Amino acid sequence: MKLIDDIIEILSSENCNLENALIKTKILLHKMGEKSLLTWVNQELNGYDNIKSVPDYRKIQNIVIGSFQNYTTRYTNHPIPIMHLKDKELDFFTIIKFSDSISTIESLSKGEDTLYFSLGLEFAPLLTKNLDSSLNVTNLKRQVAKSQILGILTQIRSRLLDFILDISEKIPEDISDKDIKSKSKEIDTKEIFNNAIFDGNITINIGDNNKNKSIQIKNNFENLLQKLKDCDLNSEDLNNLKESIEEDKTIINHEKKEFGKNVKNWLQNMSAKTRDKIAMDGIIEGLHEFYGWLT
């Protein structure tokens, strides 16, 4: 099919225009009757309106730097020690989630070798807690390398190419627009898309606005961690949960949807520790998904 060949040619060219490839993929999915798969394409083209939905390949590590001075000394773009921060604070300050449109990211990739993104001075008291108290902070920034931005583009390009190559092997060259919809259902385009774009871990929910996305948690502890990341759990809590799940493997009552004794004990400890009903509800819901008890 010519449209598929065109997308492959764009993605395999030395000067790949990802925006063009994504637009043509959008047309292709419409022709295939797979409008529910447009969420990812539209978000890559237009940007992610919900920061929580930004995929992992758009998250990159950064260095926190600052400029500060006192009466005798001045430091410019100096790395700031931040190991005193808590886990969630570290994640916030050292991981940038790029929600921008693909055109913006491509533009960033053509800039300087080192890129800087401003941080508000309101974070200064927290970040500079271990610095000399006489120093006055004048500037805070995140520092990233251009190669990291290029890495985001490479991930998007590679995932999209995997999808297009997979379906190109299953769709005849001379197929008509009329027949391609039934062929798409026959080859299970949704499954191919999910495996190529999201490594098989994320599924697209079909809704009125086509903007919802969920993580498949069943029997996947790493994805369960993603579900629980906003529940105020530290690394020790999560390690204890993992151990409890392992110890309960043979005594889970799936018919009654009942947790094993170790997970029950862990939940009791967390309830006493957090005293946050919303967080506890989120934890329990995550565990129900992990065990496959939610439909």
The answer to whether residues 34 and 187 touch, using CB atoms and an 8 Å cutoff, is: no
Most confident of 169-183, 224-238, 267-281: 169-183
- 254 and 109 both lie in a single domain: no
Give the total residue count for the chain.
295
Could you read off the pLDDT of 162-199 as tens digits, one per residue? 999 999 999 988 888 788 988 998 988 988 998 899 87
Domain boundary among 103, 126, 150: 150
φ and ψ at 143, to 5 degrees? -120, 130
Q: Which domain holds residue 35?
A: 2-48+152-206
Q: Does a structural domain hold residue 64?
A: yes
Q: Does a structural domain hold residue 216?
A: no
pLDDT value, residue 3: 92
Indicate the range of 98-112, 170-184, 203-217 predicted with least confidence. Answer: 203-217
- 145 and 67 both lie in a single domain: yes
Q: Does a structural domain hold residue 212?
A: no
Q: Which helix or strand (DSSP H or E) is residue 186 part of?
A: helix 177-187
Could you read off the pLDDT of 64-101 as tens digits, one per residue? 999 988 888 888 888 888 888 888 888 889 999 999 99
Q: Which of 274, 272, 280, 270 is nearest to 238 (CA)?
A: 270
Q: Does a structural domain hold residue 83?
A: yes
Using CA atoms, how far residue 117 sits from 29, 99, 153, in Å, is 36, 14, 19
Distance CA 198, CA 203 (A): 8
> Which residues, 6 or more positions from 234, have their beta carbon under 8 angstroms from its beta carbon?
86, 87
Domain count, the chain: 3
- 265 and 251 both lie in a single domain: yes
Distance CA 272, CA 263 (A): 14
- 167 and 37 both lie in a single domain: yes
Indicate the range of 32-41, 169-178, 227-236, 263-272 predicted with least confidence. Answer: 227-236
- 236 and 267 both lie in a single domain: yes
Q: Does a structural domain hold residue 214?
A: no
pLDDT band at 201 (very low <50, low <70, confident <90, very high): low
